[in-house]
Amino acid sequence: MLEPLPLVAATGMLGSGFREESIDRAIALGVRMIGCDAGTTDFGPHLLATGNSQFSRAAVKRDTAVILAGAARAGIPVVIGSAGGAGGDVNLAWMRDVVLEIAREQGLHFRLALIRSEQTKATVRDLLRDGRVVPLPPAAALSDDVIDDSLHIVAMMGAEPIQAALDGADVVLAGRSSDAAIYSALPLKLGYGPAISWHAGKILECGAAAVAQRAAPDSMVAVLHSDSFDVFPLRDDYRCTPQSIASHTLYENADPFRLTEPSGTLVTLESEYAAINDRAVKVTGSTFEPAARYGVKLEGARLAGWSTIVLGAIRDPLIIRQLDGWLERLDYNLRERLRKTVGDAEPYQIGTRVYGRNGVMGDLEPVNSVEGHEVTVLWDVISGRQELSHSVAASLSHMALHNPIPEWHGLISAVAFPFAPSEVDRGPVYEFHLNHVAFPETPTSLFPTVFESV
Amino acid sequence: MKTLAEVAKLVRSKNAGPFWLTLDVMFDDLATYEAVRDQHVITVELISRLYGQSPEQVRLFTHDSALAIKVSLPRPHSSGSPMDTDVFGGQQYAPLLDLPVQIESEDTHDNS
């Protein structure tokens, strides 16, 4: 019979905040580890592409300082996953700097482990050549060209590299990690079953997101037992209900019943969620199917080009009622003009989003008509150079301004531009271009770990 | 007759990773959930038509313990890529809101 194992998630994303007293309460309850997820792909590909953090250094430092101070006081380990946002080497080094600065300021001393997750192009090419990479739907098969296009590639680690780091470290900073692995690593190491460990990890990774009504981000506790786990929040005004915990497997998952991790699949089809009291829930019945082959997800970002945007709005009902035709004529006239100026040698693309029609949903919009009395058009010119995108955008805004309709005879001014200049250079823009799984030689082989004394 | 917006506790959309979009329709009582589930208010064919995607791409789930119906489909453009319109995928649920539901009880939300 395993002893109850309480774990706390400081918050759903490092830098988003939590109450200091929530960590104090968790420590008073005897939690054996403080974890925090620090990353996501949700903000877009630029974090992996540039190495920047979504939240400010001050925000991440505040949260990390409370976690490190609490853990030092309680003598328990800390695991921070997807460190620095995207978990690349630059992100990880940034997070290490924050941790070292806090240690200096608080006079803390500990063993630090850094687990790298960034992969070189050569490593990924080797994996591909050895037949160790497969695409995930809807991606196509990987190729050397796609790998060579990458700015950064990370592999998403499972629990094993974190377990290994916990053997020597008090504070583990992991590169890109499965969110749930941050919390499953310790229980799996201590012999708790995979279904309980991964399901508890899945609930914890979003912090207090799984409460019935969340006012602000905060901490969450899970207590693991041999064949169940309990979960509850630390703020008095938060409650977990069977429905709120059951619903959490819906959030940001394509399939709520089968959650794929590197070592297998958590299956929640038979999971049962029961109220322990008005704020805690017990979860039983989850199962885990070990994977036929241990696989880690690859994430990669590449440069998509340089963007210049133009924002314009139209109020004339005569133009609005023939908007598609007006936009087609503008596109035709513009491309005729550009052929004579910037030429055809370098490709460019123009994205046109019409707000008031399908600006929000694009191709998914079922209502493809304008029902209001004005529309906003956002043109996004993307090419391989900022100067080229700007040149195209400058021609575009001028031609849009005077693009005629048959009803009016004479020169019209068809577009209201809210800004002067009307062309806004946005700099480099990126895209996620990998959606693949790699089968490494061992669960830790792609994730080298360095220990240091702080 | 009511609309889904009137009887659901929450209708939302969100990314499920950068390449998938997921729609959650959640209820706060079993009877309403079962009514929507059993009347097949949301089907693969309907989602396919509303969102202009082939039915093979659409995944539909009913989640009894969460009192929720879930639909997942690939994004037309990956999150934050040049032609994307919604980085978080957070505003893609509106086409579901007016779907009709046969509910007799008046004891429902009014989110209209």
Nearest CA in chain B to A352: B83
Report the residue of B83, B87, B93, B96 to disrupt the A interface, i.e. the one with the largest count of A CBs within 10 Å.
B83
pLDDT-based confidence at B107, cuts 50/70/90? low
The bridge status of strand A34-37 relative to strand A78-81 is parallel
Backbone angles phi, psi at B13, to 5 degrees: -135, 155
Which chain B residues touch A382 with a CB distance below 8 Å? 82
Could you say which of B20, B66, B77 has the minimum Cβ distance to residue A254? B20
Inter-chain residue contact B15 with A42, CB threshold 8 Å: yes
Query: Concatenated DSSP letters for A95-109?
Result: HHHHHHHHHHHHT--
**Is B17 near chain A, with CB under 8 Å?**
yes
Nearest CA in chain B to A426: B82
Strand runs labelled E in chain B: 2-3, 10-15, 20-26, 59-63, 68-74, 100-101
Could you say which of A138, A247, A430 has the minimum Cβ distance to residue B66? A247
* Span B52-83, pLDDT tens digits: 999 999 999 999 999 999 999 999 999 999 99
pLDDT-based confidence at B105, cuts 50/70/90? low
Inter-chain residue contact A254 with B17, CB threshold 8 Å: yes
Angstroms from A351 CA to nearest CA on chain B = 6
Predicted local confidence at residue B104, as pLDDT: 72
**Is B88 near chain A, with CB under 8 Å?**
yes
Query: What is the number of helices (H) and of strands (E) in chain A?
Result: 13, 21
Inter-chain residue contact A363 with B76, CB threshold 8 Å: yes
Contact A224/A187 with Cβ under 8 angstroms?
Answer: yes
User: Shortest CA distance to B80 belongs to which of A39, A179, A309, A304?
Assistant: A304
- For A232, the token pair is 């509850």
Inter-chain residue contact A307 with B82, CB threshold 8 Å: yes
* Residues with pLDDT less than 50, chain A: none
Higher pLDDT, B74 or B106: B74
Could you say which of B15, B68, B88 has the minimum Cβ distance to residue A247? B68
Predicted local confidence at residue A194, as pLDDT: 97
**Is B66 near chain A, with CB under 8 Å?**
yes
Angstroms from B45 CA to nearest CA on chain A = 14
* Span A175-212, pLDDT tens digits: 999 999 999 999 999 999 999 999 999 999 999 998 98
pLDDT at B111 over 60: no
Strand partners, A210: none
d(CA B38, CA A74): 52
Report the residue of A13, A40, A42, A199 to disrupt the B interface, i.e. the one with the largest count of B CBs within 10 Å.
A42
Could you say which of A44, A256, A307 has the minimum Cβ distance to residue B87? A44
Residues near A143 by beta carbon (within 8 Å), at least 6 away in sequence: A128
**Is B9 near chain A, with CB under 8 Å?**
no
Predicted local confidence at residue A54, as pLDDT: 86
Which chain B residues touch A305 with a CB distance below 8 Å? 82
CB-defined contacts A:B, below 8 A = 133
Report the residue of B26, B56, B78, B87 to disrupt the A interface, i.e. the one with the largest count of A CBs within 10 Å.
B78
Which chain B residues touch A254 with a CB distance below 8 Å? 16-17, 20, 22, 59, 72
Predicted local confidence at residue A446, as pLDDT: 98
Inter-chain residue contact A362 with B85, CB threshold 8 Å: yes
Predicted local confidence at residue B112, as pLDDT: 47
* Span A11-64, pLDDT tens digits: 999 999 999 999 999 999 999 999 999 998 889 999 999 988 889 999 999 999
User: Shortest CA distance to A245 belongs to which of A216, A206, A219?
Assistant: A206
Inter-chain residue contact B83 with A257, CB threshold 8 Å: no
d(CA A93, CA A402): 52
CA dihedral A391, A395, A397, A403 (to 10 degrees): -170
